[in-house]
Structure 1
Amino acid sequence: MHSLEEFGESALGELASRMGLSFVRADAEAVEMRMPTEGNRQGLMLLHGGANGVLLEHAGSVLAMFNAPAGRVPVGTELSVSQLRSVTEGCVTAKATVVHRGRSSMCVGVEIRDDSGELTAVGRLSLVFVRR
């Protein structure tokens, strides 16, 4: 069983750190990450859709790290994000779960919710496992 400590710096990385992402839960079944709205808003003071994309891809990528076959690492190939509801304050939490895991690829589904539990965005991340 993998742990976040085992992945070291790659578990969070520079961009996620800069945006204030943090782990709530992380294992082979699901990865949950939080992100503050403050510092990640666009000009109209709404949470930036691209910030949702970063949160979604990062949670999905860490989940794929937990599920990668020995000697392989996940690389994202396709990202889809549907923005459903605007957020102006507080934090959002992404929960990534496995949709499908094959021998050489994986599909992850992600839901993003605000502090009240309202669904604000959904998405999907496709990844392939490449040799380390």
Structure 2
Amino acid sequence: MADRATRKLGWLADTLHVDSLVDPIPSVLAAIPALQPGTAAVVARHLADEDRWIREAIDLAPAREPVPGAPECGVRRLEVQTAGPIDAWTVVCAVGCRSRGEGCPCGMPGAVEGAAHIWPRTDVLAPTSIGA
């Protein structure tokens, strides 16, 4: 399992042309904000797939918590992804809805049609919320 994860993360780091010699995770995560939205979405899918594969293999629940006071209208339910350092946490739509692109009511900066809704933690959570 560790060998597969190491190869996958090394491949992602090489693909993004970032340092993968020691630990590719910080390099890959640091590169994401500078990527084009479509490329970032592909990288996020690779990371999510690997995370899911490892968690299923060791029977570990996803590192997510519901966002306190988040709107729940039957379509939109938000969760904070709590894996990694707190500054890297993101808030995602728990039901997997997709952005309609520019003008989408999600208010996601740089919204790209078909991309998952995802916001930086600081855009959604107040300083007194989860882990802040």
Normalised TM-score (structure 1)? 0.34
Higher-Rg member (1/2): 2
Structure possessing the higher relative contact order (Cα contacts under 8 Å, 6 or more residues apart)? 1
Higher helix proportion? 2
Larger strand proportion, structure 1 or 2? 1
